[in-house]
Each structure stands twice: as C-alpha cells, then as structure tokens.
Amino acid sequence: MKIAKVIAHPLAADYDQPSWTAHEYFDRAQLVLVEIRTDQGVTGVGEIAGGPQKLICDLLKTFSDVIKGMDPLDHDRVWRTLFSLTSPRPGGLGGWDGLPAPLPRNHRPQIMAAIGGIDIALWDIKGKVAGQPVFRLLGGTRTKVFTYAVGGFYVEGAPMTACADELAEYVTRGYRAVKLKTGALSLANEVARIRAVRAAIGPDVLFMLDMNAPYNVAGCIEFAKAVTPYDIFWLEEPLHWYLQPVDFTQLAAATSIPLAHGEREWHGTTVRDFIDSGAIRYVQFDATRHAGFTEALRIADHAKRKGVSIAPHTAAHIHGHLVSAFGDAAFGAESVGLPERHPIHHAIYQGGAEMKADGMLHLTEAPGFGFDVDWKWVGKLRA
C-alpha cells in the first residue's frame, strides 16, 4: 500500500454568539480536514485546529508530493521525513537530497500543524487496515473514558456570572467535571465568577480554571491564593506564553493547586522540559494543533514514566483513544459542553466517540478513529 494523495479541506462556520477567552476573540470556528488517499482505496481522515488556513493548506500540498509513494502504515518514517524539513540538513540546500529545501522558520507553527493533520489521518488508516479502533491498536481496553466540559467564555453584554448557570447546565447533562474560562477580568471580578460557579455546581464536581496565559509569576501567585478556597482542581496555562519551566516551578512551589500545561507547545521537546521540571501535574498536548498523534504518544509515554497525568486538549473524538490506551496514567479528555461550541465537529462527523449521561466518553469498536465524514457538510462549510 502506498500514499497516493493528501487533500486539504479548509472549513469554517460562524458562531451564533461571538465570545472571548482572556487572549482571543472567537466569531468563527475553523478546521482543516485532512484526507489521505491510498493506492488501495483506503482513506484516512485527520484534522488541524490552526491557521492561517491558506498557509496550512499550501504546506499540505507540498507535503503531499513529499510523502507520495510512502507506506501509510509507516507513520514514524513519514513523521520524521516531514519534520526534517524544519531544519537545515547536509545535502538539503536547494533540495539536492530529493526533498524540499528547509522550510521558512517563521512558518514553524503551521508546519507542525500540517504534520499533525497528516499523522492523525495515517493513524486512521492504520486502524482501518487492521480492522480495529486506534485505542485497541495501542493496547487500550477501556471503551469509556472520563471527560469534562469547558465553558464560561466571555460574551459582550452578558451578566458577569452567567457562566455559573452555563456550567451548572453541563452538570445536569452528566458531566462530573467542568472548566471555566478565566483571566480576562480584574482579580475581584474573576473571584466573583469563580465563587458563583462553585456555588452553582456544588461541592462534588471537579472544577478547573482555563486561564489562557494571563499572568506573570507574582500575579499568578496572588490569583492562586484568592481562588484556593473554591477547591480548584487545576490552573491551566496560568503564565504568560514566554515563561519557561523554571517559572512554572516557582509558581508550583507557591500554591497547592496543581498546574496543567502543554496545549500550545509545538513538539515534545519543550513539553518534555515542562514535565521534567516537576512543575506540572497534567500535560495537555494537542495532536490536532501540532505534530499529531505520533508525537502525542511520545509525550504520553514520557509523562507516564514521570508520573504526570495525561489530559489532552480538545478533540475528544481523537484524543479519547489516547486516554483509553494509557489507562490510569490518563486523567481524561476535554469535551465542549454544548454542540454549538464547535459547530464544524458536530456537522461533519458521524459516529465515533460520544459523551453520554454517565459523564463518560464512550468509544466504539469502529476501525480507525471510528467516525464517518458527512461530505455534503464538508462542501457546505468549505472556507
């Protein structure tokens, strides 16, 4: 079997209600669906959460030429071939070794995203060829894995504590853990929001804070002290994007609340350093943003050895397989509390992992990642 073609499908859908995190404005959902066709008719599907979409799609076109004719089951060789394009290499200048010249360094986030989408599609092919879901290929046996709902995005004109009713609704839907967007307002206002959510969800529901990197170390220590009374399960992405493991170590020493990090790291080397620092207790690498399922597995293996719990960010229909495969070493997968939080996922995918009223994500025995694609919706949402 050989790779015949990589096809990029850039998709977009407007949100009914625009919203903010502490860092970003969201008025539109975006996703690049990656389709890999083989010469034997087996097709794999992956996805990319990133942008700009045009740049990512251009890279996918380049990568299609690079990996055409390669064995789709040899995911590691494909991954390393594409990753080699990010650095200078002997004989590589001008493409003299048969590969494109080293790619521009300012495109690295998009390069890693494109590699990720291809890699996920290859794992889908691997499962389909074996006739097994990906989690079973990896030795996983759990068809139910823990999940939690994220919400509480900032909406212009909405009451400050509207987030409390929203997250309480997720609990009524069966979730036993919820995560609140925080970090955009003053400390006093954020404490008011957090207090309202804890009162609304009760004392027995796990309660995480998704901060989107708003603080320096001193500011975050103050924040952590203020929210500690509300039994916070973790602080996610608490520090500014440029701060390093040593800064997280300083924060971890000053608070009893565990730290979670990793969703925006591009590759396993930086994630390794956060894990090895001892600062984080939950690692959240996102295969759909950067580097794919193969790199997520490497990170999960390292985290397991170091006693750091695996909690991949978003795309539960993909990451749920990783959570199953790592059993007790994994915490769970992130879900959206309401379908409208990701209108593309809920339009184009049929089957696959599904959150049910028991608060668990249920995996199926369908091969690969277990979902089918509604290609009519792909056509409707094409960006």
Alpha carbon separation from 152 to 97, 233, 287 (Å, rounded): 51, 16, 24
* Residue 95 predicted with pLDDT over 80: no
pLDDT of residue 170: 95
56-90: per-residue pLDDT in tens? 999 999 999 999 999 999 999 999 999 999 998 88
Which amino acid is residue 341, in one-letter code? R
Taking Cα atoms as reference points, which of 5, 60, 14, 15 lies closest to residue 33?
60
pLDDT at residue number 346: 87
pLDDT in the model for residue 89: 83
Please report, to the nearest 10 degrees, the dihedral formed by the alpha carbons of residues 193, 199, 204, 205 taken in order: -40
Tokens of 339: 């379908």
DSSP 144: E
Q: pLDDT at position 77, please?
A: 97
Tokens of 145: 């894995």
Average pLDDT over every residue of 211-240: 97
Using alpha carbons, select from 323, 380, 319 the residue that is nearest to residue 348: 380
Q: What is the mean pLDDT of residues 333-345?
A: 86
Q: What is the pLDDT of residues 7-30, one digit of tens each?
A: 999 999 999 889 999 899 999 999
Domain 136-374, what fold? TIM Barrel (3.20.20)
Nearest Cα to Cα of residue 128 among 66, 60, 57, 46: 46
What is residue 339's predicted lDDT score, i.e. its pLDDT?
Answer: 77
Can you tell me the mean pLDDT for 308-312? 97
CATH topology of domain 3-130: Enolase-like; domain 1 (3.30.390)
Query: Where are the chain's structural domains?
Result: 3-130, 136-374
pLDDT of 221 over the 90 cut: yes
